[in-house]
Structure 1
Amino acid sequence: MSTTESPSSQTVPDPARTAPDQAVKETLEDYTLRFAPRGYRRWTPMVVATTALGGIAYMADFSIGAGIGLAHGTGNALVAIAVAAVVIFVTGFPLAYYGARYNIDLDLITRGSGFGYYGSVLTGIIFASFTFIFFALEGSIMAQGLKLGLGLPLWLGYAVSTLMVIPLVVYGMKALSRLQVWTTPIWLLLMVGPLVYLVAEDPGTVGRFLSYAGTDGDGAVNAASVMLGAGVCLSLIAQIGEQIDYLRFMPPRTEANRRAWWTAVVLAGPGWVLLGALKQAIGVFLAVYVLAEAGPAAAPEPIRQFRGAFDAMMPPWAVVPLAVLLVVISQIKINVTNAYSGSLAWTNAFTRVTRHYPGRMVFVLVNLAFALALMEADMFSFLSGVLGFYSNCAIAWVVTVATDIGINKYVLKLSPLRPEFRRGMLHAVNPVGVVSFLSASGLSIALYFHLFGDGLQPYSPVAAAVIAFIATPLVAVVTKGRYYLRRADDGIAEPLLDTDGNPSAVTLDCHVCHQRYERPDLTACFAHAAVVCSLCLSTDKTGEHVLPATV
């Protein structure tokens, strides 16, 4: 894959008046916190899709599926997995489309889809939390593998799984894309091979898997068990944010690439959940397969699951090394993405609030510190509780943004079709998203903690989705869409979109940092007859460059 040379090598003059040199260089490595310009996006649609899908090679799905299946039985687990997959696909589609079409990440989409410039700081923290929670989960799984394969104590395995990611995540999209593309075939072979062998050699494993009743009941499918399981699966709904971190590098959609473009967006956007749901179902299958040998406490551990699977087909000397190799590859593939996406989310929120860019690596370390603390606290042992609680916040956020795009933009036409993210163009807070998100997450969390009775507790994820879906258009109607845009005109005569509806590739000079940026990343400057880029606006402490509101 090739890209154009990053403009970060250019000299930045007049440092007293510019955004910090560190900010310019870091954000131009792969356009963190910014619109991703056409000049950088040289990958084909399918290369972007392959890179994005490489990041979902995590082992957490096996644990999640196993935990649900062992507790509630295979029937309830499979229905719960299917329900969650449908919700994740439907809500993820509009978000993936906007990320790929307008080349911005989920935080920038959220700003213009109901939350406002500062209101989306709330959801930025939610997404950052997602990344370190799942980093901790994957790190715990890797530590279990290192303990089994090398005899490392868990506490040391946690540290190793955290520290080894740092050198890999220093670099941006270019390095991550190579890592994902080259490791995916090995990962697929190690994951699929033993499953095919087990089913072919012992078809009875399928019958035992389907008839497993679980420990909490008689195995009959019931709504409460399905909703409890779906709530845990729906904690993964925020994964669409990590998919969009890759999809924002999609090339412009044209008549020539239309089919490939849509295929890549669907497969690598909401389509990630198809593989995720399959892995969760496999997790139930493998947990049932190894249950007699490993016991109910260890059966949800992927290292135990694949050790049992490899043991059926490989000589004894190869079993543990292959199982450990699979776990290590999976952990690296997902945790470089978790660390990268988490650092973007933290940096984005911090930069907006403080108007200071501290450097993305600072928040790589912050994110890893949170993850390591969770691992050392033995998060894996109370996994379902953590994910069940978190899912309420994640569902409320994603459903709110998806509803704003699908209903408020295209049906009610109260929300602007083109997403806006630049400071000065947006109100600080938009009640449409903020009120809907807080209402949905607050009430669903109250349900989760039994404040409305034990009978309603399993339905907290449903409440989060339903409240967000109803409240988002309701608040938009009540406010008449007044709080989406602070200004309709950014003061630049050049059109924002080209004739195909893609973001314009015309470049202009930012008079603050003296770099060239494509049209969508710029606005006119209030104090000078010039233009200013989005990061320089974000770090403008005095507000002298920010355009005034229009009446």
Structure 2
Amino acid sequence: MNSKTEVNDEASKLNDDFSLSRVPDSKRDPMWKILLIRIGNLTCVSQFMLGAELGYGLTFSQAFWATMIGSVVLQFISYGLGVAGQREGLSTSLLSKWAGFGIYGSALVGLAFAISLTGWFGIQNSVFAQGIVSILGNHANLAVTSAITGIAVTLVVLFGFKSMSWTANIAVPGFLLIMGIGSYNMLQSHSLVKLVTMAPPSNSLTFSAAVTMVTGGFIVGCIITPDITRFAKSSHDVFWATLIGTMLGELGVNLLAVLMAHAIGTSEIMPIIYKLTGIFGILIVVFSTLKVNDINLYSSSLGFVNFLKQVFNINVNRAVMTVIIGVLGTILSLMGIMQQFESFLSFLGIIFPPIAGIMFVDYFLLKRSRHLLDESRRLGKLPESAEKLNPVTLIAWIIGSAAGFYIKVGIQSITSIIVAAVIYYIGIKIFYKEKK
């Protein structure tokens, strides 16, 4: 057995999931496993809640086009970064080190994702626990239930990518089954033509705000696509996994939720599910929350591991970090994170998109570190060198984020991506010589 194989086996044995190294070809998975995790990312409670909000405030036609435009943007970002992750076998936070951000910049990216996703873990854990309490007829204690569900999700992610795939094998078909049952029951008592043509229960949304909601609702998931596609075998697998996942998750779940919101006349998810599918439906929907929350915890652990390595040169096993973050996220849910953290997550929703624009421009257009990545990939290693910090990156990130906040015309998340990408491209061309 050669040294490279021993290193790979050791990383796998410790459930570290190659958090600080490339995923070797021997550890790649078939497309359907990547697809199930991707679908599981989108076929979840938060996606259904988004669709219900769209249906409560828009006509079906408006909701369709808002979802379509948002889905195209999400697919473009997911596929571009997903291919880079698959080719290099690297997570987003690690890939960013050689895609414009440098050593300390990539550490900031990892930290930003980790903080955000830890917060999302707390929020989703609260939804998970509340769903279980509602199933038990409010006889269970919410705080105790939140602690139990937080520990359960942590244990799933502790065993890494393989166990996440196992939960997806159950959660995804179950959620799709409930959506099918709910749709059947809905059409038994409501005309499809009427649901499609009726006025929305409320006129609380504008079209541009709806597109922003669709795009912003999964923008973080798009940027961390490499965390999952680094296990894919080919770029074709990435294309089909992201395309089918986006179509089923965004168009499929969103539009069914729109119709259900029209039928029931509310944007509240639990009343919709209960009236159309009963307690069994609530149970499956709650379990699907587990699916999206294990992704939150998994990517958060990768981000923190990368941050500690780059800034403090401390090697922390991903499984150990998973336990730490799982405990922190569970504590946040017990402290009422759902109420206090949502505004901060909205703030990060505009901070994150510029990262995608900068990475895409650097990796695919400027290719400043591609020669280092290509040479090291042939050896199954990481590049031995990387720039410490790229000032142009920070400037583009700040200006792109500011544009997203202050330019109200159009879609804020798209604005921040475009502005950051343009500023970065021009800045590199002016201040750096392009590396061939």
Q: Which category describes the TM-score, using the shorter chain as reference length?
A: 0.7 to 0.9
Of 19, 37, 59, the residue aligned with 2:45 is 59
In structure 2, do the counterparts of structure 1 residues 140 and 76 end up closer, same or farther at CA, with 3 Å as the change threshold? Answer: farther
Q: Deviations over 1:109-156 (max 9, x none)?
A: 211111112211222123223422432343232223112111234333
Query: 2-side partners of 1:84 and 1:384: how far apart?
Result: 21
Residue identity opposite 2:274 in structure 1: R
Residue of structure 2 in register with 1:272 after alignment: 245
**1:283 aligned to 2:257?**
yes
Cα shift at 1:432: 4.0
Contact 2:128 / 2:290 at 8 angstroms: preserved in 1?
no
Residue identity opposite 1:268 in structure 2: A
Cα shift at 1:36: 0.7
Q: How does 1:148-167 map to 2 (within 5 A)?
A: 148-150=134-136, 151=138, 152-167=140-155
Contact 1:69 / 1:76 at 8 angstroms: preserved in 2?
no
Contact 2:94 / 2:306 at 8 angstroms: preserved in 1?
no
Residue of structure 1 in register with 2:120 after alignment: 134
Residue identity opposite 2:165 in structure 1: S
Q: Deviations over 1:317-369 (max 9, x none)?
A: xx21x123212320222222221221111111112111112332443244334
Cα shift at 1:307: 0.9
Q: Deviations over 1:440-484 (max 9, x none)?
A: 113323x2xxxx7xxx277432431221231121112112346x7
Residue of structure 1 in register with 2:276 after alignment: 309
Residue of structure 2 in register with 1:229 after alignment: 210
Cα shift at 1:373: 5.0
Runs of 4+ aligned structure 1 residues displaced above 6 Å come to: 8-11
Contact 1:8 / 1:25 at 8 angstroms: preserved in 2?
no
Highest RCO, 1 vs 2 (Cα 8 Å, sep ≥ 6): 2
Q: Deviations over 1:195-232 (max 9, x none)?
A: 13422x23425523543335345x7xxxxx22322223
Percent identity between the two aligned chains: 20
Query: 2-side partners of 1:134 and 1:81: how far apart?
Result: 22
Residue identity opposite 2:24 in structure 1: P
Q: CA RMSD in A?
A: 3.2
Q: TM-score with structure 2 length normalisation? A: 0.85
Residue identity opposite 2:150 in structure 1: T
Judging by fraction of residues, say which structure has more helix. 2
Query: 2-side partners of 1:85 and 1:55: how far apart?
Result: 14
Cα shift at 1:93: 1.5
Q: Give aligned pairs, total.
A: 423
In structure 2, do the counterparts of structure 1 residues 161 and 430 end up closer, same or farther at CA, with 3 Å as the change threshold? Answer: same
Q: Which runs of 5+ in 2 are unaligned?
A: 377-381
Query: 1-side partners of 2:203 and 2:37: how far apart?
Result: 40
Q: Deviations over 1:286-307 (max 9, x none)?
A: 223223xxxx5xx333x32211
Q: How does 1:480-491 map to 2 (within 5 A)?
A: 480-481=432-433
Residue identity opposite 2:84 in structure 1: Y
Residue of structure 2 in register with 1:431 after alignment: 391
Residue of structure 1 in register with 2:63 after alignment: 77
Q: How does 1:207-222 map to 2 (within 5 A)?
A: 207-208=194-195, 210-213=197-200, 215-216=202-203
Q: Deviations over 1:493-524 (max 9, x none)?
A: xxxxxxxxxxxxxxxxxxxxxxxxxxxxxxxx
Aligned partner of residue 164 in structure 1, secondary structure? helix
Cα shift at 1:48: 3.5
Cα shift at 1:24: 9.2
In structure 2, do the counterparts of structure 1 residues 250 and 441 end up closer, same or farther at CA, with 3 Å as the change threshold? Answer: same
Contact 2:12 / 2:18 at 8 angstroms: preserved in 1?
no
Query: 2-side partners of 1:170 and 1:268: how far apart?
Result: 24
In structure 2, do the counterparts of structure 1 residues 144 and 426 end up closer, same or farther at CA, with 3 Å as the change threshold? Answer: same
Residue identity opposite 2:26 in structure 1: G
Q: How does 1:13-412 map to 2 (within 5 A)?
A: 26=14, 29-41=16-28, 43-72=29-58, 74-150=60-136, 151=138, 152-199=140-187, 201-204=188-191, 207-208=194-195, 210-213=197-200, 215-216=202-203, 225-235=206-216, 236-251=218-233, 253=234, 262=236, 264-269=237-242, 271-277=244-250, 278-291=252-265, 296=266, 299-301=267-269, 303-310=270-277, 319-320=278-279, 322-372=280-330, 374-376=332-334, 378=336, 380=338, 385=343, 387-409=345-367
**1:460 aligned to 2:433?**
no
Of 444, 469, 484, the residue aligned with 2:404 is 444
Query: 2-side partners of 1:352 and 1:462: how far apart?
Result: 30
In structure 2, do the counterparts of structure 1 residues 351 and 424 end up closer, same or farther at CA, with 3 Å as the change threshold? Answer: same
Contact 1:242 / 1:337 at 8 angstroms: preserved in 2?
no
Q: Deviations over 1:250-300 (max 9, x none)?
A: 23x5xxxxxxx61x2112235432222122222222223223xxxx5xx33
Residue identity opposite 1:405 in structure 2: Y
Query: 1-side partners of 2:225 and 2:9: how far apart?
Result: 30
**1:478 aligned to 2:436?**
no
In structure 2, do the counterparts of structure 1 residues 462 and 32 end up closer, same or farther at CA, with 3 Å as the change threshold? Answer: closer
Contact 1:90 / 1:270 at 8 angstroms: preserved in 2?
no
Aligned partner of residue 352 in structure 2, secondary structure? helix
Residue of structure 1 in register with 2:379 after alignment: none
Residue identity opposite 1:430 in structure 2: N
Query: 2-side partners of 1:173 and 1:85: how far apart?
Result: 26
Query: 2-side partners of 1:407 and 1:355: how far apart?
Result: 31
Contact 1:62 / 1:281 at 8 angstroms: preserved in 2?
no
Query: 2-side partners of 1:327 and 1:280: how far apart?
Result: 15
Contact 2:101 / 2:389 at 8 angstroms: preserved in 1?
yes
In structure 2, do the counterparts of structure 1 residues 442 and 405 end up closer, same or farther at CA, with 3 Å as the change threshold? Answer: same
